[in-house]
Structure 1
Amino acid sequence: MMPSKKANEVGLDHLGAMRALLRIVELGSFSAAARELKVATSTIARKISALEDMLGVSLLHRSTHHVALTEAGNLYHARAVSMIADLDDTLRVVAELDSAPSGPLKLTAPVAFGRRYLAPLVAPFLERYPGVQLDLRLTDNHNDMVMGGFDLDIHEGENYLDNLIVQPISRNDSILCAAPAYFARRGRPQAPADLAQHNCLRYLHPEGDPRWHLTDGATVQSVLPSGNLQSDHSELLLEATRAGLGIAEFEIWLIRDLLVSGELEVALPGYRLENALTGRQIYMAYLPNRRFSTKVRVLREFMAERLKGIGELPDRELVPSPAERA
């Protein structure tokens, strides 16, 4: 079958049609994609129709309020995502040769981690690299790096490392802790079994294990904590813990300064928590096609230098025991 005139036309702008399709799928409509690309909706529609004519298949199911990929569309879309990512990375690498890092740079991280540690680093980074336009997205829901267009992902745990290059930043230690006022009122647990006599504040996650798994390096003891507060928000639980309500599990990066100041104290100093959800490391992760990007490299180096060891229990001299404080 000979290609139509429209197909010949799209052959001159196959790349533009491919990019348009990706935006339609991500944004959910022709009109939203047209607004982002700053063209008329009819222009977007003509590109997709011409692309479908050239391929001889329908790529999208269309309705008044919804678009969805056909079987052929799913196959084309998967290949197009990879191709566009590779092309954009090639263009970036070439443009960055022999020049200072510049252009858009998209980073994602968990909300609490981003507020506590990344927010103070934004201004120093951009002062050092003024040509970069940083886009920092904080979310506790893992982002698809390809679909989201992310250059770098800072996250905890080993759950999302497939097909990514990873660079460990720090161990990700977790402990149980409480305020000194709570210990003064209720006493200190001496072993994991003693937690049954304490008010335990629980963090909830749909993929998390409700039990606390405590290890002394040789054995693991599991307990099901119970108390009068549970939440899916770690910072809310932290405020309740600081107020003396009970014992809670936290990663070191979230409470490091509070341990140093003595506002919080470790509940079972001889134990660490094993948490499959948060894992044993904090990582920076990036796609293989970003490995030669100058701006990604300088961001990785900048973050690695300033965040090194941030998830590890501070040295003993920084966190004196209650007896030493007295």
Structure 2
Amino acid sequence: MTDLNFTGTMQLFVRTVLLGSFSAAAREAGISASTVTRKISAIEKHLKVALFHRSTHEITLTEAGYLYFERVTAILSDIDDAHRAVSALDAEPSGQVKLTAPVAFGRIYLAPLIPQFLKIYPSIQLDVRLTDNHNDLVRGGFDLDIHEGENYINDLVVHPLSRNDSVLCATPEYLSLNGHPQKPADLSAHNCLQYIHPEAETQWRFRKHQSRFSHLPRGTLQSDHTELLLSAVLEGTGIAEFEIWLVRDFIRQGALKIVLPDYEFKNDLTGKFIYLAHLPNRRQSAKVRVLKSFLADRLSRVGMLTESEIQSLRDKARAS
């Protein structure tokens, strides 16, 4: 491969994988698609193995291609780190950082934090993608990912931001009209609004001390959109389950009350923690490190109720 700029060709290979086609990589690089094809074919010839499955409409990585992609991505990250260290760019973090997070979480918590971060680090450009479906960190080229629940990629490097508590909620008006459930079985007499998801359980599960309980929610509304359910609950429609980070302010303001405050609500879909994560082969450059530190500092405990909050909310619930 003496006729190739090897580093440049590796970069071209990575962009082809991330963009999903030779033509897209060519447009981004400002060269012809045939040039991209020729350069990647030269890599395959040198390695004596195919990196892509090629068809009329798409290209996909072979097993060897995926392994090569992982190693090359790490190599290019090391090269980038070396350039930054030598040129002293790490003294002032700069460049693009890609972050992905759930929609509601991003709207409530990231939206006010991002302007603060960019004021501190004006040489960094953030690319923030919000979705309730896990983004593909590999194909999306994401540096950091905020997610709830169990890791969806093997060997993902995770930093727990906060415990992720879930609670049942209703408005004071709804509870005044329909009564306050004292135990899970009492929910059968209530309009229970349900979040639906392909991986979600159909039953609500509770724990109190060593005892476990379950309830199959039945009601007039089910949805795959948490904020739609929240709007319905705030209008007094019924009872629903939410992560505390979504409803904490409404509870503090008195717009919502926790239902069954003496019971621990368990939700395997949203899991026990909110994580900040990155791929194992993504080296932590200065720009990524400062964003990770910034978010970890400001989002610590965002998904959990403190003991004092729990006691205060339980006292209010009992007094109602």
TM-score for the superposition, normalised by structure 2 = 0.89
* 1:8 matched to 2:2: yes
Secondary structure of the corresponding residue to residue 64 of structure 1? coil
2:11 counterpart residue number: 19
* 1:275 matched to 2:275: no
Deviation at 1:303, TM superposition (A): 1.5
Residue identity matched to 2:198: P
Deviation at 1:32, TM superposition (A): 1.1
Residue identity matched to 2:211: T
Contact 1:198-1:247 within 8 A present in 2 as well: yes
2:245 counterpart residue number: 253
Q: Structure 1 24/309 Cα, relative in aligned 2: closer, same or farther at 3 Å?
A: same
Contact 1:192-1:223 within 8 A present in 2 as well: yes
CA distance in 1, matches of 2:283, 2:15: 25
* 1:227 matched to 2:222: no
2:102 counterpart residue number: 110
Match of 1:157 among 149, 160, 169: 149
1:4 counterpart residue number: none
Secondary structure of the corresponding residue to residue 126 of structure 1? helix
CA distance in 2, matches of 1:181, 1:145: 44
CA distance in 1, matches of 2:247, 2:13: 45
Deviation at 1:291, TM superposition (A): 6.0
CA distance in 1, matches of 2:318, 2:27: 64
Q: Structure 1 31/250 Cα, relative in aligned 2: closer, same or farther at 3 Å?
A: same
Equivalent residues in 2 for 1:115-130, closer than 5 Å: 115-130=107-122
Secondary structure of the corresponding residue to residue 244 of structure 1? coil
Deviation at 1:69, TM superposition (A): 3.5
Equivalent residues in 2 for 1:104-253, closer than 5 Å: 104-160=96-152, 162-253=154-245
CA distance in 1, matches of 2:65, 2:272: 39
Deviation at 1:143, TM superposition (A): 2.7
Q: Structure 1 271/317 Cα, relative in aligned 2: closer, same or farther at 3 Å?
A: closer
CA distance in 2, matches of 1:217, 1:95: 58
CA distance in 1, matches of 2:149, 2:93: 29
Q: Name the count of aligned residue pairs.
A: 317
Match of 1:262 among 243, 246, 254: 254
Secondary structure of the corresponding residue to residue 166 of structure 1? strand
CA distance in 1, matches of 2:209, 2:71: 46
Residue identity matched to 1:321: K
Any gaps of 5 or more consecutive residues in structure 2?
Answer: none
Contact 1:93-1:294 within 8 A present in 2 as well: no
TM-score for the superposition, normalised by structure 1 = 0.87
RMSD of aligned alpha carbons:
2.5
Which 10-residue stretch deviates more, 300-309 or 103-112?
300-309
Deviation at 1:226, TM superposition (A): 0.9
CA distance in 1, matches of 2:104, 2:230: 11
Secondary structure of the corresponding residue to residue 167 of structure 1? strand
Deviation at 1:299, TM superposition (A): 1.5
Contact 2:78-2:283 within 8 A present in 1 as well: no
Deviation at 1:157, TM superposition (A): 1.9
1:59 counterpart residue number: 51
Q: Structure 1 240/146 Cα, relative in aligned 2: closer, same or farther at 3 Å?
A: same
Contact 2:90-2:286 within 8 A present in 1 as well: no
Residue identity matched to 1:212: W
Residue identity matched to 1:9: D
Contact 2:143-2:288 within 8 A present in 1 as well: yes
Secondary structure of the corresponding residue to residue 225 of structure 1? coil
* 1:68 matched to 2:60: yes
